[in-house]
A and B are shown apart, each in its own frame.
Chain A
Amino acid sequence: MLRKIATISAIGLGLAASAHARPVSYVGGWTLIEESDRQSTSLLAHYTPDPAFSIGWKSEWDRQNDIALHGPQFTYLAKRWFGEDYQANLYAFTGAGWLEGVDSNPLSAEGMGYVGLLADWETRSLFASYKTRYLDSHSLDGNFLQAARVGWAPYEGDTGDLHTWLMLEVDHRPDNEEELGVTPLVRLFKDTALLELGWSLTDDQPLINFTYRF
Chain B
Amino acid sequence: MKLVSLSLISLLFFAPAWAQDHHASHENHAEHHSTDHSDHVEHAEHEHHTNDAEDAPIHTQLTHTPEIHQALEAGGDAVVVSVLGVVCDFCAKAMDKTFSKRDEVAAVYVDLDHKTLNLVFNPAQSIDETSIRKLVKKAGYRAAELTYIPSMNLN
A51-B140, A124-B88 in contact; A86/B111 too (CB < 8 A)?
no
**Chain A: number of interface residues, binned into ranges:** 35 or more
B97 within 8 A of A: yes
Residue of B13, B56, B91, B137 near A84 (CB, 8 A) is: B56
Residue in chain A with minimal CB distance to B83: A82
Contact at B93–A88, with CB atoms within 8 Å? Answer: no
A104 within 8 A of B: no
B3 to chain A, nearest CB (A): 10
- Please count the residue pairs between chain A and chain B whose beta carbons lie under 8 angstroms apart in the complex: 115
Main SS class of interface, B? helix
Segment at the interface with B among A64-72, A114-122, A178-186: A114-122
Contact at B17–A80, with CB atoms within 8 Å? Answer: no
B28 within 8 A of A: yes
Q: How many residues in B have their beta carbons less than 8 Å from beta carbons of A?
A: 42
> What 1/0 flags go to B1-25 for Cβ under 8 Å of A?
0100010011001101110110010
Contact at B87–A122, with CB atoms within 8 Å? Answer: yes
Contact at A29–B111, with CB atoms within 8 Å? Answer: no
Residues of chain B within 8 A (CB-CB) of A123 are 87
A4 within 8 A of B: no
Complex CA–CA separation, A123 to B21 (angstroms) = 12
> What 1/0 flags go to A106-134 for Cβ under 8 Å of B?
00000000000101011110001010100
Contact at A128–B13, with CB atoms within 8 Å? Answer: yes
Interface residues of A in 165-203 (CB under 8 A from B): 189-192, 194
Contact at B88–A121, with CB atoms within 8 Å? Answer: no
Residues of chain B within 8 A (CB-CB) of A80 are 85, 140
B100 to chain A, nearest CB (A): 11
> What 1/0 flags go to B86-111 for Cβ under 8 Å of A?
11111111110110000000000111
Contact at B85–A159, with CB atoms within 8 Å? Answer: no
Contact at A119–B13, with CB atoms within 8 Å? Answer: yes
Residues of chain A within 8 A (CB-CB) of B115 are 84-85
A210 within 8 A of B: no
A57 within 8 A of B: no
Q: Top 10 nearest A-B pairs by Cβ distance?
A: A26-B94, A82-B84, A82-B85, A87-B85, A88-B17, A26-B139, A27-B138, A82-B142, A83-B24, A159-B112
12 chain-A/chain-B pairs, Cβ below 8 angstroms:
A51-B138, A84-B28, A85-B24, A85-B115, A86-B24, A121-B14, A130-B10, A144-B2, A148-B9, A158-B111, A158-B112, A159-B112
Beyond contacts A84-B24, A121-B17, A130-B10: 15 other A-B pairs, Cβ-Cβ < 8 A, are A22-B90, A26-B97, A29-B97, A51-B137, A51-B140, A83-B20, A83-B85, A84-B115, A86-B17, A128-B16, A156-B113, A158-B113, A191-B89, A192-B89, A192-B90
